[in-house]
Amino acid sequence: MGRKKSSIIRDIELRDKVVEILLQNLRKDISLCNLIEDNFNLSYKHINKIFKRITQLTIFEYHNRLLVKHACYLLKNYDCFYISLELGFSDESYFCNWFKKITSITPSLLKIKKHILQEYITKEII
């Protein structure tokens, strides 16, 4: 038997609230577990399970995609050092390595290839 419509709606509302919280806390140096649990009366593990069922992404994966999208937006006007500080990375090198691991391209190369950069900015996350 399928899930009830009210349960699905509740899950979607939870997803939307999680996304809202992530957008308000767009930094790498936060504890996602603490951030989520502080805003809900449910465990991070349970919320993450619901979130993944709706989005096909874990909260961590979604948060990383938000960070990449914001970093791409910032790349239009700022250097990697500034972006690494803005997004809460411990240093520029760590930010560049993290960015390349996720996107398969370095931030500096992406900055040069403006058409690809624009694609990352406009691409839907889910």
Q: What is the pLDDT of residues 8-27, one digit of tens each?
A: 899 999 999 999 999 999 98
pTM of the model: 0.87
Distance (Å) of CA 1 to CA 4, 9, 53: 9, 17, 17
Identify the pLDDT of residue 72: 93
Structural domain boundaries of the chain? 5-62, 66-122
Question: 66-122 sits in which CATH class?
Answer: mainly alpha
- Tell me, what amino acid is at 10? R
Q: What is the pLDDT of residues 17-54, one digit of tens each?
A: 999 999 999 988 889 999 999 999 899 999 999 999 99
- Tell me, what amino acid is at 24? Q
* Residue scoring higher pLDDT (2 or 46): 46
